[in-house]
Structure 1
Amino acid sequence: MSTFRRDFLASFVVFLVAIPLSLGIAVASGAPVAAGLIAAVVGGVVAGLIGGSPLQVSGPAAGLTVIVAELVQTYGWRATCTITLLGGLLQVALGAGKVARTALAVSPAVVHGMLAGVGVVLVLAQVHVLLGGSPQQSALANLGELPGQLAAPNTHPALLGALTVLVLLFWSRLPSTGPLRLIPGPLPAIALATLTAWSLGWDVRRVELPDSLFGGWDTPAVPEGPPIGIVGAVLSVALVAAVESLLCSVAVDRRRPAGVPRADLDRDLLGQGAGNAVSGFLGGLPIAGVIVRSTANIEAGARSRTSAVLHGVWVLVLALSCGPAIEQVPLPALAALLVVLGVRLIDTARIRDLRHHREAPAYFATLVGVVVLGLGEGVLVGIAVMGVLALRRLTRLSVRAEHLVPEPDDGPVPIRTHVVVEGTLTFLGVPKVTRLLHEVPPGASVDLDLNVDFMDHAAFDAIHQWRLAHERQGGRVDIDEVHEAWYERAVTGDMSSPRKSPPSARWWAPWANRRRRSEEELDAPEVSPAAVLLDGVREYHGRTARLVRPIMAELAMEQKPQHLFITCVDSRIVPNIITASGPGDLFINRNVGALVPRYGSRTRDDSVAATVEYATNVLDIRTITVCGHSNCGAMAALLAGGTEVEHLSGLSRWLKHGNHSLARFLATDPSGEDAPPLTRLCKINVMQQLDNLLTYPWLRKRVESGEIELVGLYLDLQSANVEILDRATGAFMPVPDDAPPARTVT
């Protein structure tokens, strides 16, 4: 299907969505109904041609309803048009100044709280229209009048509103692939309500259009009022519409199909500004990028800005030729549509996400502020709360200590204290830190972990002076900085620029290395292996758990590893260290000798085959790596003929899977090689296990078709270097420093 044909068909879908929404938003804003149609036309044609987001559709937005309603009540409609025009010119200036991305600095918690507040205000106002009444001037007044309105509804408007809501709910539950879903829900809902009211002759308020779309046009009027209030109104229209449009543009950009260019946010702001300037001049509502229409545009198959432009053209044609039909639309049906739209603006799923990041207070503060104080004031309240939360995070500090007191029978062993300081260490946290440090007994050996992202001079001076005083009294202080070496740099005087300190060695060093110094210094008694294991778990909880918790939370319900890694059970091999990988990257199978039983082997063992099947068929892994290593005990046992392990029946049976590696070793001419026999067998074993994988017919097909890649690695324990197998030459080569490894199977 050609691009133009896709855009042509998509434009009709967007047009059908835009008509009822534009009418409803105009009614809810207290503006002339024609203003909604003018804004839809201008948003499609002007913003569509100039804007920087090809698939975004602009027009009157529900998020601006409250602002426009307040402006109409305060300054009148013609003056509101002037404010819209000036707001558009301000957006053009911002776009020309390349500051579009600055608008995205507003926290999503504030933006979504603002939209939720607008949704609440919209629902409270339109419920009155739906029930046959009239909305009040404020959300609180609407809330106060709501019980009386619910107690005595007007029957015909209430029935039409209920019918509209039911059709919208029914339409949203239709199968997504059905032919009816090609028609947007608002169209049949409004059409059925209009047909019902007309056929039954119900006396309900209907849409009123002027004789022609621009028949009542007049030049925009200068707003009358305090200059500060007018400037604030212009800023509100410009910034709220800009933020909503840019957020919409970013969301649309993430869903764009292949071949569609990325959004240019600065150009998009220029397009929105031009559209608002023209809409205000012609007597239309303010416009913004609208996620509902933009999503419909993408799902309908649009591929360029032609769709958005054509949808504006269809709105213009309808407004000029179908005025009598539009005037039959009952206002309660439009109010019901807006109630549903307002409920959708209150996105409860966002609350759960914000709670994870502890930003829910800003969301609720903005929501309540918009409902109680107004849109601009509510946004300022939300920004203030977000600032307080950010300041609290910047000054958050955790300090804890653990005193290890020796047993009476251990002799005169000094007390050892482990102190951990985490967070941002400024003068505000100095009292908390020094209070705990002064509780350390004189003469104690102290391990001070500074896991801080910033340390000012006051904090450094307090810690340094305490350290000097403690060491003068016979104590010892070892300072370990996990992130940036703030303390070390302050001591040496090298404060030119922050440098990342090398990561703490403790997490990868063996337990014995970590305990060696403390045992020598304290002459500590031997502890049980279980106690060492639990001590390692405690260190993980204290140092690492909080760092990996966000990653583990994402992986908790689903794993998506990229590689199957088959290696030996040897304790000296740590796959995540030699591949610099983390949780969720490697699907690991470990066994004695890194062996892969051949397909149909007499000594049956399905553990490795089961791992390969699950990795490739369920997890869709495309790379299988076999990693051998030097001084492998399993290979040494094969060289010795299995005599050293013949008393271990299970191991002896398992090592039979390595006989092919041994036979290959014996058949290989070692001339020209100076490697010891065990080293040669360890490397040959990797090659053989890759060949063993190819004995599985289904796997061989996928390897030969290029769907799965096989890789051989070899770890030399003494040098800690990893080599990669070059399948063409049968030799292990150093891993290139600046290029990805070549495929090992062709």
Structure 2
Amino acid sequence: MTRVEIPSQRRKSGVPQWPKATFGADLGASLVVFLVAVPLCVGVAVASGVPAELGIVTGIVGGLLVGLLPGSTMQVSGPAAGLTVLVASAVEQHGLAALGVVVLGAGVLQIVLGISRLGTWFRAISPSVVQGMLAGIGLVLILGQIYPVGGLAQPESTWAKFAGIPDLIVAVVTTPAGLSGLALAALALLITAFWKKVPGKASLVPGQLVAVVVTSALAVLLVLPVQKVEVGSLLAALNPPDATAWGMLFSPAVLGSIVTFALIASAESLFSAAAVDRMHDGPKTQYNKELVAQGVGNTVCGVFGALPMTAVIVRSSANVQAGAKTKLSRVLHGFWLLLFVVLLPGVLSFIPTAVLAALLIQAGWKLLELRQVAALVRENRSEAFVLVLTATMIVATDLLIGTLTGLAVAIVKTAIEVSWLSVKSEHGDEQVRVELGGNATFLRLPRLLDHLETLPTGKHVHLDLTMVRHLDRACHQAVEHWAAQRRRSDGTVEVALPARVG
């Protein structure tokens, strides 16, 4: 009689196995990630122009649902600062009611991309475009969040934000709300900057949380005239799509938003995966499965009408650094978020919006990565140009146009670089030897023909293409046509072709 091993059956059934030996490490890491996630979930929601509870909902789904799904082990999902620009734009264009449709559609598209095994293709996007995209998002984020610091509502358009800076400065230095908000924001940034240097176990507590607690307490004790986060019931804040919202599904504008959300969220999640995988020695991310997991999470968030989610590098790195060993840490972080909003929802109403804005300004500053930009300018100016152009176009227009512009320029730049062609001529008394090297493609055809047509008449021409790495059909036909014309006129031509002709 065959002996049945129940643990083996459980593994095959797909039930997660979390060893007791790692439970303590995962529990501690989950608390750290939870403390990091609370202010960021609320801050991203407020910056996106939606109720704060919707950011918490996305964080809960990212932990309890996506945390259980296969793909990545250490990544933590939730609302991301990089998507605030997209969400704010979508809500402004289509209304809050349509947010769920956009997020749900993006989630379904992500699932399709993952099932189609297209997840790994996101790794092929030019790093300079990605860095430019993040820098552009960071600039827009900073530009928008300086207004809540001064107690003002941020203008809708980018140009209005630039134009409103003088009025913002006046409000900050002359009004009680502006002065108080600036003081709290500055204090929050100082705390987060210096908290990592605190000796002992106290440094394990996230600096963002310490900043929020200290500044919120000061705002209450000193009765400062600053605006605070408005928090209501979690269930009441849910925003499932209604019939009117579903009716907008096939409009070109909404479909464009769905595609944009899916592509940007997928790229951010998978680039985060590549970064997080370098931080630990555990199982590496399975990109297509991770893309499906993100899609499932966004589909559920869309049903609830919540914010879109991505894998967030801030929470993910905190998870690794806190000593997480398995997926249990990110699942528990979602449980702590749910428990917090159920038992202590009123605590969030003590947080000044100026403090959350300061934390998002800090997040935007990190997205700029100025040191890497400076290094890129020194090492590769063409790549730096793509980065700066992408970021500038995002600030000047919007995220989709800016990113597509960067991609187009990167493709053209790569095509030009790949098609590099050298042409050398050695002139003798009776013959001319022309040697080609590199890649002979249609992009370099005008230069090649110009050189061949300037060769002196009456001499034998030896055209050596054996060192050419790639000869496309256009160049091949052009060379043969030129040689035939040369032979019909007054000279002889010998053409040595490479072993393989493209």
Q: TM-score, normalised by structure 1?
A: 0.59
Instruction: Answer whether contact 2:181 2:226 (CA < 8 A) is retained.
Output: yes
Mapped to 2, the partners of 1:62 and 1:156 lie a distance apart of 24
Superposition deviation, residue 4 in structure 1: 1.6
Match of 2:24? Answer: 5
Mapped to 1, the partners of 2:481 and 2:42 lie a distance apart of 71
Q: Which amino acid aligns with 2:257?
A: A
RMSD: 2.9
Mapped to 2, the partners of 1:401 and 1:150 lie a distance apart of 65
Instruction: Answer whether contact 1:61 1:288 (CA < 8 A) is retained.
Output: yes
Rate the CA distance shift 1:397–1:287 in 2: closer, same or farther, 3 A: same
Unaligned runs of at least 5 residues, structure 2: 1-19, 173-177
Q: Does 1:137 align with 2:156?
A: yes
Q: 1:472-483 counterparts in 2 under 5 A?
A: none
Structure 2 residue corresponding to 1:432, chosen from 444, 447, 451: 447
Tell me, what secondary structure is at the counterpart of 2:156? coil
Tell me, what secondary structure is at the counterpart of 2:110? helix
Mapped to 1, the partners of 2:426 and 2:33 lie a distance apart of 64
Unaligned runs of at least 5 residues, structure 1: 406-413, 480-486, 499-746
Mapped to 1, the partners of 2:482 and 2:421 lie a distance apart of 19
Q: Deviations over 1:128-157 (max 9, x none)?
A: 111221101022211110122123311111
Q: 1:127-276 counterparts in 2 under 5 A?
A: 127-153=146-172, 154-172=178-196, 174=197, 178-210=200-232, 212-221=233-242, 222-223=244-245, 227-257=251-281, 260-276=282-298
Q: 1:454-603 counterparts in 2 under 5 A?
A: 454-463=470-479, 487-489=497-499
Q: Does 1:286 align with 2:308?
A: yes
Tell me, what secondary structure is at the counterpart of 1:112? helix
Superposition deviation, residue 74 in structure 1: 1.9
Match of 1:635? Answer: none
Match of 1:102? Answer: 121
Match of 1:452? Answer: 468
Q: Does 1:334 align with 2:350?
A: no
Superposition deviation, residue 422 in structure 1: 3.2
Match of 1:24? Answer: 43
Structure 2 residue corresponding to 1:423, chosen from 438, 441, 445: 438
Q: Which amino acid aligns with 1:453?
A: R
Q: Deviations over 1:220-266 (max 9, x none)?
A: 23436571111111112222111111111222223332xx2222212
Tell me, what secondary structure is at the counterpart of 1:243? helix
Superposition deviation, residue 273 in structure 1: 1.2
Q: Deviations over 1:488-507 (max 9, x none)?
A: 447xxxx6xx7xxxxxxxxx
Larger Rg: 1
Match of 1:623? Answer: none
Mapped to 2, the partners of 1:428 and 1:247 lie a distance apart of 32
Q: Which has the higher contact order (CA 8 A, sep 6+)?
A: 2
Q: Which amino acid aligns with 2:303?
A: F
Match of 1:379? Answer: 403
Q: TM-score, normalised by structure 2?
A: 0.85
Tell me, what secondary structure is at the counterpart of 1:379? helix
Rate the CA distance shift 1:476–1:318 in 2: closer, same or farther, 3 A: same
Rate the CA distance shift 1:475–1:307 in 2: closer, same or farther, 3 A: same
Rate the CA distance shift 1:305–1:456 in 2: closer, same or farther, 3 A: same
Rate the CA distance shift 1:198–1:451 in 2: closer, same or farther, 3 A: farther
Match of 2:422? Answer: 398
Instruction: Answer whether contact 1:399 1:432 (CA < 8 A) is retained.
Output: no
Rate the CA distance shift 1:467–1:312 in 2: closer, same or farther, 3 A: same
Tell me, what secondary structure is at the counterpart of 1:454? strand
Mapped to 2, the partners of 1:443 and 1:261 lie a distance apart of 66
Rate the CA distance shift 1:450–1:383 in 2: closer, same or farther, 3 A: same
Rate the CA distance shift 1:150–1:478 in 2: closer, same or farther, 3 A: same
Tell me, what secondary structure is at the counterpart of 2:469? strand
Tell me, what secondary structure is at the counterpart of 1:162? helix
Q: Structure 1 stretch 353-362 or stretch 37-46: which is displaced more?
A: 353-362
Match of 2:13? Answer: none
Rate the CA distance shift 1:461–1:385 in 2: closer, same or farther, 3 A: closer
Tell me, what secondary structure is at the counterpart of 1:2? helix
Rate the CA distance shift 1:421–1:148 in 2: closer, same or farther, 3 A: farther
Superposition deviation, residue 462 in structure 1: 4.8
Superposition deviation, residue 299 in structure 1: 1.1
Superposition deviation, residue 112 in structure 1: 1.9
Instruction: Answer whether contact 1:131 1:161 (CA < 8 A) is retained.
Output: no
Tell me, what secondary structure is at the counterpart of 1:303? coil
Mapped to 2, the partners of 1:162 and 1:84 lie a distance apart of 34
Superposition deviation, residue 371 in structure 1: 1.2
Tell me, what secondary structure is at the counterpart of 1:399? strand
Q: Does 1:49 align with 2:65?
A: no
Tell me, what secondary structure is at the counterpart of 2:187? helix
Superposition deviation, residue 21 in structure 1: 0.9
Instruction: Answer whether contact 1:51 1:269 (CA < 8 A) is retained.
Output: no
Mapped to 2, the partners of 1:377 and 1:74 lie a distance apart of 16
Instruction: Answer whether contact 1:140 1:371 (CA < 8 A) is retained.
Output: no
